[in-house]
Amino acid sequence: MAAILAGDIGGTKTRLATVEVTGSQVHILREAGYASRDFATFELLLADFLAGAESPNGHARFPHPNPLPKGEGTNVSLRGFRGIAAAFGVAGPVEGRVAQTTNLPWRIDADALQQQFGFSHCTLLNDLEATAYGLSALCPDDLLTLQAGGVNATGNAAVIAAGTGLGEAGLYWDGQQHQPFATEGGHASFSPGNELEMALLRHLQQQHSHVSWERVVSGMGLLTLHEFLRQYRQVSVPGWLAEEMRHGDAAAAISKAAMAGRDEICSETLHCFVSLYGAEAGNLALKVMSCGGLYLGGGIAPRILPLLTDGVFLEAFLNKGRMRHLLEAMPVKVILNDRAALYGPALRAAQLAGMEIIHDMPNAQAVFVHDDPMLLGAAVAERISRLADEAISERGVFHLALAGGETPRRCYEQLRHHAIDWLNVHIYFGDERCLPKGDAQRNDSMARNALFEHVALPEGNIHVMQAELGAAEAAARYMMVLNGIRLDLVLLGMGEDGHTASLFPGNPAIASADAVVPVYQAPKPPAERVSLGMSTLNAARAKLFLVAGEGKRSALERILLGETLPAAQVAGAEWHFDRAALPITTEEY
């Protein structure tokens, strides 16, 4: 099982870990925590982790005892981490593959990290999106229920987390599973609900041109509330509290005093904070229609559980007039495990890299499983992009043979967004139907619509099979096209009968030693086709199967049981499946 590098990048703390993922379970191999502001850039912090600076028990102390000097570079030995997948949750908006942290001066670029540290993949997530992905790794003991909600509640879900800032994310329910998505809802405009909160808004408007919910529901919001209430009630800060706030975490000092009942203003501060937290949680729940649940994450909620459970939070959450009944049916839970934001990037990296492996697949170099066809397509597109870069760097050209079908089409639609040197890419086809040129059912027509029309690929670099001339003539001409060419990568699908390209079980074409073969009496229309021969497929530097859907399950079961279907005769291939294609009892294999 390959390791993954996961990270939770916060405005105050950053946590990094190497992990292994099995299904939805995350096993931490090594973990380290850092004070984010001790490092001028994330790259310096990451290099420190990868260099192996850790305490004797394998876990870095927090704050890290020996951070790299802020101005030094990252010329450390990182060879052990090259080629692994990495994913990081970032406290700030992620635009494309770049994130600018909201409460730190860090600009984090996934492409730059991937290049500098040699990761096979590098993915950035918003920190709350990361927490949303991490929910599936939690066990019942990792959650505290504030409201049970309706029986068998299903649907969208949402996560809200007050910490250094205020994060919010949603989880769209697609009918089978949740699909997390990021928001920046914490920066939406604060809306007071009573006279005291209106006075608070006027107080903040004197300091800020825009007052967001993050200004009041966060660590800094707690300090703001405390300062406001001191002025509003005209009560000075006790000397003992001022001392604790001056020499430690001011927000923590206020919370501690409130929880112990030592100061009335601190108690009122926390009461107001919890009420505002509940109000904005209710806002988010209604906007996302989170019938599947509302989750409280972040570092503050677990530290104030007695106040979250005394009814103040829920009353503010439910206080939405005519929509109260909707909110009463929604489960509301507190996330107690602070690693949820670390688990999420690990699970997302495993999804994208396909690191859940089926063992004992005949002739396979590797087998990867993805949650759905879209994620399969995204992972394969990234794999193609990386192989193209390597081939062009080493040999100056990338010879790629495309497959037909719906799953490859999804991949091509994602591939067109990758930065590939298309001028040095030559395209070929694994097979073609003998139909008129331009026919919508031809593989070259699909590839043109999905990919060629959207990238700077020279027309002379596209080598189609002239299947409109008939199978024999097309095969003869394509052998001349391929003369002297070794394909760098062949993309392949698998039919429900286990065929690949147009090499069908029992068809004489599969036994031919020719580089390109005419195919007659194919069991699927049209009966006449042209295909790369098995010798050409096996001679390619890399072979990659894309297999999705329940219809492929039977063929996969037959291959796993040892039947030599055509697809199984491709040696050393990398197989990518979606979960629907897997046998029900994959574990038996």
pLDDT of 564: 93
Return all residues near 255 (Cβ < 8 A) that are at least 6 apart: 222, 266, 270, 300, 303, 304
Q: Give the pTM.
A: 0.62
Helices marked H in 234-366: 239-247, 250-260, 264-288, 305-308, 312-318, 324-328, 340-353
Residue 112 CA to residue 115 CA, distance in Å, equals 5
Instruction: Give ∠ CA 113-114-118 in degrees, rounded to 5.
Output: 115
**Bridge partner residues of 462 (DSSP):** 427
- Say how far apart CA 267 and CA 281 lie, in whole Å: 21
Distance (Å, rounded) from C-alpha 343 to C-alpha 138?
Answer: 9
540 neighbors 570 (Cβ within 8 angstroms): no
Half-sphere exposure of 380 toward its Cβ, with a 13 Å CA cutoff?
A: 36
Enter the DSSP assignment of 177.
S
Three-state DSSP at 251 gives: helix
User: Cis omega (within 30 of 0) on the bond before 63?
Assistant: yes
- CA dist 467 and 475 (Å) reads 8
- Two structure tokens written together for 570: 């491709």
Domains, in order of start, for the chain? 4-138+341-350 (3.30.420.40), 143-336 (3.40.367.20), 357-588 (3.40.50.1360)
Structure tokens at 191: 């809306």
Structure confidence at residue 74 (pLDDT): 38
Neighbouring-strand partners of residue 123: 87
Long-range contacts of 409-412 (CB under 8 A, 24+ apart): 409/446, 409/450, 410/373, 410/374, 410/376, 410/377, 411/376, 411/377, 411/378, 411/380, 411/381, 411/384, 411/491, 411/546, 412/381, 412/447, 412/450, 412/451
Spatial contact of 500 and 493, defined as CB atoms under 8 Å apart = yes
Q: What is the pLDDT of residue 358?
A: 57
CA distance 276 to 232: 18
**What secondary structure, in 3-state letters, does 328-352 show?**
HCCCEEEECCCCHHHHHHHHHHHHH
Render each residue's pLDDT in the chain as its tens digit; 589 residues.
468 899 999 888 999 999 988 767 899 999 999 999 999 999 999 999 988 733 323 333 333 333 333 333 333 334 456 678 899 999 989 998 999 998 889 999 999 999 999 888 899 999 999 999 999 999 999 999 999 998 878 899 999 999 989 999 999 997 767 899 999 999 999 999 999 999 999 999 999 999 999 999 999 999 999 999 999 999 999 999 999 999 888 999 999 999 999 999 999 999 999 999 999 999 999 999 999 999 999 989 999 999 999 999 999 999 999 999 999 999 999 999 999 999 999 999 887 765 444 556 788 887 888 878 988 998 899 899 989 999 999 999 999 999 999 999 999 999 999 999 999 999 999 999 999 999 999 999 999 999 999 999 999 999 999 999 999 999 999 999 999 999 999 999 999 999 999 999 999 999 999 999 999 999 999 999 999 999 999 999 999 999 999 999 999 989 988 899 999 999 999 999 988 888 754 433 3
DSSP H helices in 152-249: 195-205, 219-233, 239-247
Give the separation between CA 589 and CA 519, rounded to whole angstroms: 33
Tokens 């966060």 belong to: 218
